[in-house]
């Protein structure tokens, strides 16, 4: 059985509860981070930060869709996501991908487990049946949601809420990578939904130093970004 590891160490007076955000295994977190860096699905540029759609300046850019183009990495991620589902959510009856990047990952998991697959749109289809959820809607069915990346958790949890509104029982969510923001932990706690990730930001940084993607001198700045991403770099 995998050792369940709480992701982040908090001060004794900190009210944030990270029990809703876990990783499958610490060694797997390092392995996945290493592979994502190797295929450049994750890029670190603290000296030339990226700008997110929110306007935040970020030293990291993550596009896990690139893993689909590398069969070895794709299969490793799929196998570990399957392991996450079967370990944490044993009563699962269906898999739901979050559009768009969670769709291929979810389909791979569902195929491997021999389970029905559905996916959730970010907004209803603009024609035809105007579906929010694509696939067979079975009220009462126990579903695990699949994401590729979690930042604040807003869009992921909206998909989970849409599934609940359609009558599904949402057991939890799995994802490849999380930035580990405190606001995400609070959002998942408030929603009462457990998130299990293969890897996260804290596992990434030592691997990035070891592989010379960044220097050890950059670690302070990179650590500060996760604490306050909204004001970092200003």
pLDDT in tens, 161-199: 999 999 999 999 999 999 999 889 999 999 999 999 999
Lowest model confidence (mean pLDDT) among 50-54, 72-76, 100-104, 184-188: 50-54
Residue 216 annotated as binding site:
no
DSSP E strand stretches across the chain: 5-6, 21-23, 42-44, 50-51, 57-58, 60-62, 94-98, 117-120, 133-134, 142-150, 169-178, 195-200
Would the annotation count 87 as a binding residue? no
Per-residue confidence (pLDDT) for residue 234, from 0 to 100: 66
Q: Is residue 189 part of a domain?
A: yes
Q: Exposed, middle or buried by CB within 10 Å (0-12, 13-18, 19+), for 26?
A: middle
Q: What are phi and psi of 189, to 5 degrees?
A: -65, -45
Average pLDDT, the chain: 88
In a domain, 225, yes or no: no
pLDDT for 6: 33
Which residues neighbour 101 within 8 Å (Cβ) at sequence distance 6 or greater?
A: 64, 65, 147, 148, 149
Return d(Cα 73, Cα 150) in angstroms, integer.
19
Tell me whether residue 226 is annotated as binding. no
Q: Does residue 218 fall inside a structural domain? A: no
- Give ∠ CA 105-108-118 in degrees, rounded to 5: 75
Asked whether residue 151 is marked as a ligand-binding residue, the answer is yes
Could you tell me if residue 4 is inside a domain? Answer: no
Q: Give the mean model confidence (pLDDT) for residues 117-145.
A: 86
CB 10 within 8 A of CB 16: yes
Do the domain assignments include residue 93?
yes
| Pairwise CA distance, residues 148 & 187, whole Å | 17
97 marked as binding residue: no
Q: Is 125 annotated as a binding residue?
A: yes
- pTM beyond 0.95, yes or no: no
Question: What's the mean pLDDT in 205-214?
Answer: 92
The dihedrals phi and psi of 61, each to the nearest 5 degrees, come to -130, 130
**CATH for 110:** 3.40.50.2020
The whole-number pLDDT of residue 166 equals: 95
Write out pLDDT tens, residues 151-166: 999 999 999 999 999 9
User: Residue 139 belongs to what H/E stretch?
Assistant: none
Residues with Cβ within 8 Å of residue 134, at least 6 apart in sequence: 118, 119, 120, 121, 125
Q: What is the DSSP string of 22-42?
A: EES-HHHHHHHHHHHHHTTSE
- Rounded to an integer, the average pLDDT of 22-31 is 93
Does 24 show up as a binding residue in the annotation?
no
Annotated ligand binding at 148? The verdict is yes
Domain that holds residue 199: 21-41+51-124+131-212
Lowest-confidence pick of 8-22, 32-46, 125-139: 8-22
pLDDT value at position 14?
Answer: 31
CA–CA gap between residue 181 and residue 161 (Å, rounded) = 21
Looking at the domain assignment, is residue 174 inside a domain?
Answer: yes
User: Was 2 annotated as part of a binding site?
Assistant: no
pLDDT for the residue 35: 98
Helix, strand, coil fractions of the chain, as percent rounded to 5: 40, 20, 35
- Does a structural domain hold residue 220? no
Domains: count for the chain:
1
Is 10 part of any domain?
Answer: no
């Amino acid at each position: 059985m995998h050792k369940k590891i709480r992701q982040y160490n908090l001060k004794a007076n900190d009210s944030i509860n990270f029990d809703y955000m876990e990783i499958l295994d610490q060694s797997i977190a390092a392995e996945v981070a290493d592979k994502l860096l190797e295929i450049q699905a994750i890029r670190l540029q603290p000296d030339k930060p990226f700008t997110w759609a929110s306007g935040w300046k970020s030293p990291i850019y993550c596009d896990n869709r690139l893993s689909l183009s590398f069969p070895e990495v794709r299969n490793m991620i799929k196998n570990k996501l399957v392991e996450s589902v079967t370990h944490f959510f044993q009563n699962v009856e269906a898999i739901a991908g979050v559009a768009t990047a969670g769709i291929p990952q979810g389909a791979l998991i569902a195929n491997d487990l021999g389970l029905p697959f559905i996916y959730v749109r970010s907004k209803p289809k603009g024609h035809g049946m105007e579906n929010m959820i694509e696939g067979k809607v079975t009220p009462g069915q126990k579903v695990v949601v699949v994401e590729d990346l979690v930042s604040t958790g807003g869009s992921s949890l909206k998909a989970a809420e849409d599934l609940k509104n359609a009558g599904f029982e949402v057991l939890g969510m799995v994802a490849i990578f999380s930035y580990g923001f405190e606001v995400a932990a609070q959002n998942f706690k408030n929603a009462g939904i457990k998130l299990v990730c293969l890897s996260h930001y804290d596992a990434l940084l030592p691997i990035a130093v070891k592989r010379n993607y960044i220097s050890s001198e950059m670690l302070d700045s990179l650590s500060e970004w996760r604490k306050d991403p909204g004001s970092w770099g200003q």
